[in-house]
Structure 1
C-alpha cells in the first residue's frame, strides 16, 4: 500500500463505472462509504485524488481488488475507439490520437456507446439489401453473437455463483473422467429421471446430441468422442441443477432480444458444464503445477482442446486468479469464429488478425506451436496454438485454437521454455493490415487507412503499399 501513497491517484472514470455496475446513485454510494455526495462527485470528476483511506473503504465495502482498481488503464478501449474512428465514414475528420485517448480514459461510457453503435452499423452493412425478417420481426441492431461476446467480456468470463454451484456438485464425484461420466449418468437418472444412450450416427442424422423430452432420454451420437460425451452429460445435469443461478446471471446481463437470451443461456450452461468437469480450485492448481501443459491438462480432465482453452480464460476468481489468457478460434483463412479478449488482446477487434501471426498455420492436433510476438508499441506476448480435429469426416477445413498472454507470464508456461521473453527476437505484428502503420512489413495485404499512399512510377519498394509517414 505504501507505493499508492507516493502518488496522487485520479481514478474518477473507474469509480464512476464501478458505481454504475453496482446500480448505485451518488447519494447511496456516498452513504455506504461514509463521505458526502459532493466529495464523491469531486472524486468522480477527477477534481480530487483518491486517497489510500478511500481505496481501503472501497475494497472493504465492495470486495474489489485494489491492485486491479489502481492499475494503469488498459489501452484496449483507446485501441478499439481509434479503430472505429478510422472507418471510412468519419476518417476525413482526422481525430487526433490524444483526443481518442482522452475520451477513452475519461468517458468510458461514451466509448462503449460508440462501440455499440458501430457494431450495429457493421451488422447492417453485412445485410444484402433490405432485411427479410419474415414473421420474426425486424432483425436486431446488435447481432446476438456480438452482444454475448461483449457481455462475457464485461464479466471477465467469470461467473462466481455458477462456479460455486458446479464445484459443490463436483465435490462428491470422482476426479477420473471415465468414472465421472458414469457418476453423472447415474445422477441424471436417479435425481432427474433422464437416461443417457449412445446411438448410431445415422439415427441422429448429422446431430451430435439430442434430448428427447417425451421419453426423457439424452441421445449421444457414436461419433461424439469421450470428451464430448462427458461434456454433454454435464451440460444437461447443470441445466437441471443450476438452472436458477444460470437464469439469474442471464437476467443480470439484460439481453436485448429473445435470440440473445437463448444464446446467453446456452453459453452459461456450457460454462457451468466446464466448471463441473474442471472444478475451479482443482483445475487452477493443476494448471499452475503442470505449468499450463495443454495436452497434459486436456487428458487429465478428459476434455477437448477447445473446452480446455475456454476454461483457462475463466480463472478470474478474486484472490485465486490464473494467467489472464486471451483466446481465439479461427480457420486456416484467419476468419475468427470465437474470441475472448482477456486483459490484453493484441489485435484489432474487427477483421482478421495479423497475417504474421503463425497461430493459424498450426496443423498438428497434439502439438503446441509457441510464438513470441511484439506489437507496434513494443509490448510482447507469448501465444500457444493447437489444431483442432476436423468436426466432420468430410470436412476440408480445420480450425485452430490459440491462447496468448503478456510475455511476463511466460515463465509459468511449459510451452514457452527455451524462449527468452526479453532478449529473443520476436515476430513483429500489427493490429490488422488496414490499421497497421509498420512501414517495412513484407506481408502487408492492404494499405493503412490512417496514411496516404506514397507511390512513384520510378521505383518499387520491397514492402507493398508504401505510404507517407505523416
Structure 2
C-alpha cells in the first residue's frame, strides 16, 4: 500500500493567521485544537491532517484544494529567487530547493530578506546626493510609500471586509447604480453640506478634484470622464462617511512614515469608493450572471473598464467569493502603475511582465479584448484577457490617452468567464511565459533580455542560437 504524502503547511497556516489578525490561541480555538498543537503545525513539526483541513475550510471559508496544493508556497520562493538572481548575490549559487525551504520553514526570515532587498533597490533609485552628509539616509524610509502600501494591500489579498460592509449598505441605499452620480451628489449635500460642481481645469492647476473643508465645496475637473467624476463623488463621500473607520484601519496597519500613512488612507478611500459604486452583493451577482463580461458590467453599473477590472480583484468575501483575478495596468512604455491579485500572481514582484504575455499587444488593437492562455515554468496555466483603457483625465490631443489593463486567473476558473467561450481549454496551446528573464529557466526563448542568474552561458562564436543568451542546463 502506497503511503499518502504528508502535508506540511506551516508557512501557509502562519500567513492565514496573520491575514486574519489572529494570535495562535484564537486560531487554535477556532479550529478546536490546542495552541501548542497549532504551534507544532506552524513549525512543520506535525503534518496537517484531513481533519484539520476540513476544520480550516469550515472556520475560514477556504478553498482547501488551493490551500493544500503542492507548491502552494511557490510565490515566496519565486520572490526570493528574483532577489538572489541579482548580480550582488548570484555568485552564491543558492538553489531553488534552498529557497523553497527558507520560504516554507522560515517565512518571517524570508519576508525580512525581501524587505531589506526592497529597501536597497529604493535607495539605489534615489539621486546620489540623498543619503550623503551627516547621518546618511534614514533607514526607516528606504522603502517608498507606494511600495509599502502595495505590499500591505496585497498581504490582505486586496479585500477589506469592514469597508465592504459599510459601502454595501450605503451603495444599496443610493438606488440604481447606473444613475448613482446624482444620489451621491445629493447625499454629499444633504448629509454633509458639501456642494459638488464641475469647474474649468485652470481652477484646479494640476489637480483633478479638490475639496475645501472651509467652504464645503468639492470641485471636479471638466476634463474628467463621466465615470471618473462619479468615482470622485464616491471618493469624497467615502472620506466623510468612513473617516473614523479608515483612521482605525490605518492605525492598525502601522505605516512606517507619514507618506505611507497618507497614501494608505487614500487607498482605503479609493477602495471604499469602488465598493460604493459597485456594491459587493449586487456586483458579484451581476458578474456571475454575465460571466465576467466587462462591457456588460460597465453598462449595468455606469463604470468604466478599469473600475470594473479593479473591482474584480477584490471579491474575496468569505462565503461569497468571485473568480480570484490578478490585474496589471501598464502604459505604452511598459511601466506598471497598478498591480493587484485576489490569489496567485505569476509575474515578477520587482520587475515588469514577460514580453510573451499579450498585455502590451493591446495597444495595437485599441478597444479590442485579447484572450490568451499562458503557462508558467512550473506548469501552472492561467487564462488572461487584455485591453486598452482611457486615462481618467482627457489629455491634450498631443498626449497618449491609452493605458492597458490585463486580467487573469487560474485556468480552473476559465469556464466561468465569457471570454473563454469557444476555446477548448484542454487542446488550446498555452504560451510559455516566465516571471522575469533573470529568474526564468526557459532555455529556448527568443524574447530573453538577460541571461538567467547562476547559469553558465553557452555562447560560441561559430554558432548563433534562437535565444540571445543561451545557457547550460542546471
Provide the C-alpha distance between the structure 1 equivalents of 2:284 and 2:78, rounded to a whole number of angstroms: 31
Deviates more, 1:125-134 or 1:437-446: 125-134
Matched, 1:451 2:445: no
Counterpart in the other structure of 1:385: 386
Q: Does 1:461 align with 2:435?
A: no
Q: How does 1:369-408 map to 2 (within 5 A)?
A: 369-390=370-391, 391=393, 392-393=395-396, 394-396=398-400, 398-408=402-412
The equivalences for 1:49-448 within 5 A come to 49-55=47-53, 63-65=60-62, 67=64, 69-72=67-70, 73-131=72-130, 138=138, 140-178=141-179, 180-363=180-363, 364-390=365-391, 391=393, 392-393=395-396, 394-396=398-400, 398-448=402-452
**Number of residue pairs aligned between Structure 1 and Structure 2:** 462
Distance 1:361 1:24, change over 3 A: closer
The change in CA–CA distance for 1:444 and 1:17 in structure 2 (over 3 A counts) is closer
Closer, same or farther in 2 for the Cα pair 1:408/1:30, shift >3 Å? closer
Q: 2:20 & 2:209 partners in 1: Cα distance?
A: 39
Match of 1:197, SS? Answer: strand
Alpha-carbon distance in 1 for matches of 2:343, 2:55: 26
Residues 314, 342 of structure 2: 8 Å contact kept:
no
1:3 is aligned to: none
Displacement of 1:223: 1.4
2:40 to 39, 42, 47: 42
Spell out, residue by residue over 1:134-187, the C-alpha distance to the aligned partner (whole angstroms, 9 max, x if none): 9xx847111111111111111111100100000111222222422x21111111
1:40-90 per-residue CA deviation (whole Å, 9 max, x = no partner) reads: 433333333334555566666x64537265454241111111111111111
32 and 296 in structure 1: CA distance in 2 versus 1, 3 angstrom threshold: closer
**Cα displacement (A) at 1:230:** 0.7
Q: Secondary structure at the match of 1:288?
A: helix
The 2-side partners of 1:427 and 1:57 are apart by 38
- Quick check: 1:408–1:421 contact (8 Å CA) kept in 2? no
Q: CA RMSD in A?
A: 2.5
Pick closer, same or farther for the CA change 1:278–1:461 going to 2, 3 Å. Answer: same
CA offsets per residue over residues 301-326 of structure 1, 9 Å max, x none?
11122211110000000111111111
Structure 2 distance, partners of 1:330, 1:77, is 24
Structure 1 residues 22, 289: closer, same or farther in 2, change over 3 A?
closer
For structure 2, the residue ranges without an aligned partner over 5 or more in a row are none
Q: Quick one: distance in 1 between partners of 2:255 and 2:87?
A: 30
With CA pairs under 8 Å and 6+ residues apart, which has the higher RCO, 1 or 2? 2
Length-normalised TM-score, structure 1: 0.91
Structure 1: where are the runs of 5+ without partners?
A: 1-5
Cα distance in structure 1, aligned partners of 2:280 and 2:372 = 28
- Kept in 1: contact 2:316–2:342 (CA 8 A): no
Q: Could you say what secondary structure the match of 1:171 adopts?
A: helix
The DSSP-based 3-state class of the residue aligned with 2:469 is coil
Higher mean C-alpha deviation, range 146-155 or range 212-221: 212-221
User: Would the aligned equivalents of 2:181 and 2:233 in 1 still touch at CA under 8 Å?
Assistant: yes
Residue 17 of structure 1, CA deviation: 3.9
- Over 3 Å counting, the alpha-carbon distance change for 1:273 and 1:411 in structure 2 is same
- The Cα shift of 1:32 comes to 7.0
